[in-house]
Amino acid sequence: MRPFPGLVDDATGKVDPEFAGVVEAAASRARVVDFFYGDPDPALVDAVHAGGALVSWQVGSRDEAKAAERVGCDLVVAQGTEAGGHVRGKIGLLALLGQVLDSVRVPVVAAGGIGTGKAMAAVLAAGASAVRVGTRFVAAAESEAHPRYVQRLIAAEAKDTVLTEAFSTGWPAPHRVLRSSVEAAERFSGDVVGERIRPWAPDERVPVRRFQSTGVTKASYGTIDAMSFFAGESVDGVKDVLSAAEIVRELAGGAENLLRPMRK
């Protein structure tokens, strides 16, 4: 499956010119351009390289990682099913990481359920080159997440998350979310749970449909509890609102404290 249907021409393998422009603009400004959800695509890889950036592909299986390396990706992100938000694969991070590390030579970033220095140390010790962290940063001081969503993350534990296809309106895919948001959407009667303003169209309020997978931001209005509260098992690490820098320091410092003695 192409990651973004219609954006790469199946017959010619050429990227849609408008999208190629977007990719190249991103590649000329960022050091890494990352793709997710779809078969690794050489046309997209070439477009990023032409713009001067490295290409990363987030994957959920060993085969997908091998395909990413084959088409020229510079690194892969192995996403375990513990991850918050859209989930690609079928297995947990440690099993996946082992498979991917044994299958590719490019650097492997570990993602999914990493919310503490302990978890970060574990995957680095296993051979990951870096970690990707999502849920912890939803509760960062700089985040645009809705305060109610942040409050729910702080109160939740890993067991309060669920991998579900409930929030498939707009994007039929498994997501890991807070179970409370599924239950609230199930209780809700009606088709529209609220509205939101998207950053790129500040004058327009668009409806948020029941069971729609969507970002829940400070510009979301209505029955917030019934919106898709993406959360990984890493939610255990969300105990307070900290700045992004404090989160990075906490994770990296915790991992370093655990790994340093092992190096002696």
Ligand X SMILES: Cc1cc2nc3c(=O)[nH]c(=O)nc-3n(C[C@H](O)[C@H](O)[C@H](O)COP(=O)(O)O)c2cc1C
Residues at the site binding ligand X, with contacts judged by CB under 6 A: 36, 58, 79, 82-86, 111-114, 132-135, 138, 230, 232, 234
How many CB atoms lie under 10 A from the CB of residue 50? 13
Residue 45: both structure tokens together: 């890889």
Residue 252: both structure tokens together: 């990296």
CB of residue 149 to ligand X, shortest distance in Å: 9
Q: Which residue is nearest to ligand X (CB)?
A: 134
Q: Which residues pair with 132 in a beta bridge?
A: 111
Q: Are 57 and 38 in contact (CB under 8 A)?
A: no
- Of the pair 14, 25, the CB lying nearest ligand X is at 25
**Positive or negative torsion for Cα 182, 159, 234, 251:** positive
CB of residue 12 to ligand X, shortest distance in Å: 26
CB of residue 233 to ligand X, shortest distance in Å: 6
CB of residue 122 to ligand X, shortest distance in Å: 14
Q: Are 242 and 153 in contact (CB under 8 A)?
A: no
- Of the pair 46, 82, the CB lying nearest ligand X is at 82
CA distance linking residue 84 with residue 171, whole number of Å: 15
- Of the pair 104, 114, the CB lying nearest ligand X is at 114
Distances (CA, A) of 21 to 7, 28, 51, 221, 264: 11, 10, 10, 33, 49
CB of residue 86 to ligand X, shortest distance in Å: 6
- Of the pair 51, 85, the CB lying nearest ligand X is at 85
Write the DSSP symbol of residue 80.
Answer: -
- Of the pair 135, 180, the CB lying nearest ligand X is at 135
Tell the residue number behind the tokens 């529209």, with chain if given: 192
CB of residue 51 to ligand X, shortest distance in Å: 19
CA distance linking residue 23 with residue 33, whole number of Å: 8
- Of the pair 38, 127, the CB lying nearest ligand X is at 38
